[in-house]
């Protein structure tokens, strides 16, 4: 009776190996996508930020993270830099959103991968 509980046959059917390989490739692809998107949005955000800093446009993190506050509070103060303000705000929010989604997907697929290991 003691041996039955301790014996574990390691048999991996082709479907499990295919799923494992698929998940590994998917995780690697998501990680790579996260890196590429991070670099892409970082360049765009810093380009807009540089313009705003050079022109001494002042705003708080609370303002820049809220589309409504950007339009109601920041843009009226600096109408000549409205394009850069909107670009910075939207790219920053989009970067955070995409990074969060990709991180959740990587975590989810990593958990599934650990389950099938």
Check residue 35 and give its pLDDT. Answer: 86
Q: Is the pTM here over 0.75, yes or no?
A: no
Q: How confident is the model at residue 95 (pLDDT cuts 50, 70, 90)?
A: confident
Q: Which of 104, 100, 91 is closest to 27 using CA atoms?
A: 104
Backbone CA torsion sign across 17, 22, 27, 31: positive
Q: What angle do CA 25, 28, 30 make, to 5 degrees?
A: 105
Whole-angstrom distance, CA of residue 2 vs CA of residue 78: 77
Check residue 18 and give its pLDDT. Answer: 80
Cβ neighbours, 10 Å, residue 70: 20
pLDDT in tens, 5-49: 555 556 567 776 787 888 888 888 888 888 888 888 889 889 989
pLDDT in tens, 44-92: 889 989 999 999 999 999 998 999 999 999 999 999 999 999 999 999 9
What are the DSSP calls for the chain, one per residue? -HHHHH-------HHHHHHHHHHHHHHHHHHHHHHHHHHHHHHHHHHHHHHHHHTT----HHHHH-HHHIIIIITTT-GGGHHHHHHHHHHHHHHHHHHHHHHHHHHHHHHHHHHT-
Given a cut of 60, whether residue 93 has pLDDT beyond it is yes
């Amino acid at each position: 009776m003691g041996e039955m509980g301790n014996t574990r046959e390691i048999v991996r059917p082709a479907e499990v190996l295919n799923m494992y390989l698929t998940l590994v490739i998917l995780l690697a692809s998501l990680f790579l996508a996260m890196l590429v998107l991070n670099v892409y949005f970082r360049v765009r955000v810093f380009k807009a930020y540089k313009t705003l800093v050079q022109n001494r446009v002042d705003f708080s993190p609370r303002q820049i993270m809220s589309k409504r506050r950007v339009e109601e509070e920041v843009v009226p103060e600096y109408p000549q830099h409205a394009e850069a303000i909107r670009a910075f705000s939207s790219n920053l929010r989009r970067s955070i959103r995409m990074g969060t989604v990709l991180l959740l997907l990587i975590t989810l697929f990593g958990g599934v991968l650990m389950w099938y290991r």
